[in-house]
Each structure stands twice: as structure tokens, then as C-alpha cells.
Amino acid sequence: MSETTYDTEIPAYLRPPRTLVMGVLNVTPNSFSDGGRWFDTDAAIAHGQSMLSSGADLIDVGGESTAPGNDAVSVAEEIDRVAPVISALAGQGALISCDTMHAETARAAWKAGAKIINDVSGGMVDSEMFSVVAEIMGENPEVSYLCQHWRGHLKDANRLAVYENPHLEVWQELRERLEVMRERGDIDLRRVIIDPGLGFSKQGDQDWDVLANLDTYLGRGFPVLVGPSRKRFLADYETHTVERHARDDVTASLAFFCALKGAWAVRVHQVEPVVVGIRALEKLKEFHEPRTVL
């Protein structure tokens, strides 16, 4: 199959000098991790600004919780939740991603100023998603699409989490979604980011297997986002503190691992310790020399 030639340049944010830190901003009343603390629009905007001040490179704004047991919200409600937050933060110069599985929300988010469409379903929930992605990519050369591995909603996680070789099967299924986009011919694959989807259709050791084998995804020519933050598979590594979520310490450690491996970005709730860790990693690189044999 011949490759399509595109006239546009790849956005600079897809070619960063180091791993980026994506701050999670849930504009929902029922998030599994923050219990709706940022559901109010003003509170959400203030929290986004706080994460940016702490060093976040971009903010991922979502208006629908994908946690098990939560009901779906209408597209109109989702748009009402995220659009004003995206508009306010993008208007201040922030790079914004919108976490949505719905094509109309993706279009509204782009119009509000989002540059990245973060679709945890990889285009499997809304059959119009790829068409809208192609449309907005054609309108704006700065727009990219984040395609996550997905087998179904988290309510079906136990039934769907069946693998013989998790990291390889996840890549094979991601590749199928990429091939669908390639065959369409109207989506610029240079502006597609992939995410192995920790915690989605996976359990326990399956997540660890995917994470430990990031090279499976990193060598494929696509920027790789990894989102370990506060996921269920980290429950055995909780640290009980008043100030932080119980899984933030192990999240920061794994985010550092992802940065060390060369991930494009890590998606986290607690920004500051991850930013500090990546800064330290960049400092180490200044002094690293290739191994020499004496």
C-alpha cells in the first residue's frame, strides 16, 4: 500500500525534546480519582491553571467518567461541561487535549481550542469519529488524534481481559485501528498518537506486562502516551497520606520509568512530582556518556 504525502508539518508538540506531562482534568461529578472536585467550571479552570503552574505541558479535559458503574452522559451535557473549560485554558495559551469518545464532542472541543482528541475507544464507540478527525485535521495542521487500545467499557473489564500475551495482543489490536485509518486515506497518520490503555480491558499483571514492555509500542513510529495514574493495578503500592492520593507515589515512579524509556507523554493527576522527576532525568542525560571499554 502506498503512503499518502501530506503538505503540512508535524506539530512541534509531537516532537518534544523530552517526555511531556499531561495533567488530568475531570469535569465530572463522579470521577473515580477525585470525586467531582473539579465539576464546577470555575473550579475546573482554576485547577487546570494550577497544574500548568506546576509544570504540566498540556491539560487533558474530560466530561464523562469511564469508571465502572457510571452512566453515560449525553453528548450535549459532555460538551456543556468541557467546552467552557477548554475555551478558557486554550485562550490563555495552554495546549489542550479533550478526552472524549464522541465525534460531536471532538468537533466542539476543537472549536473551543483543543488541539488533541484523546479517544479512549480508538474510534470504536462512535462510527463518525474518524470522519470528524479527518475533517478537523484538514482544517487545522496543529490537530492530532490520540488512539487508545480498547476492547469495551470498563463494566465489561473482567470478561474482556483475556490475553495469552498482553503486550503483543494490545499492539496487534492498536495496529488494526491504525490500519483502518490508513485505508481511509484522509487521516494524517503522522499526527496520530498511540496509547496502550493501561486499566482498560486489562487487569493486574496484564497491565504490568504492557508497562514493562513499552518497547513494543515505542519502536513503531508513533508518539506514545502512557497513563498509569491511580489505576487499579497499583493498589498494592498505595501510600496513605493526607495530602495526596494513595497511588500518587507509585504513579510518579512509573511515570519516571516511562520517561526513561522514551514515552512521548505521561498522563497524571498529580503533576508536580512527575515534572520534578523528568527534570532530574534530563539533568542526568547532560552527563551521560556512551559506555567505553578500557
231 as an active site residue: the answer is yes
> Which of 15, 231, 232, 261 does the annotation list as catalytic?
231
Active-site residue, 111 included:
no
Residues facing residue 147 across a β-bridge:
119, 194
Catalytic, out of 81, 202, 247, 267: 267
Burial label for 7, CB within 10 Å (0-12, 13-18, 19+), is exposed
Maximal CA-CA distance, the chain: 66
State the catalytic residues: 231, 267
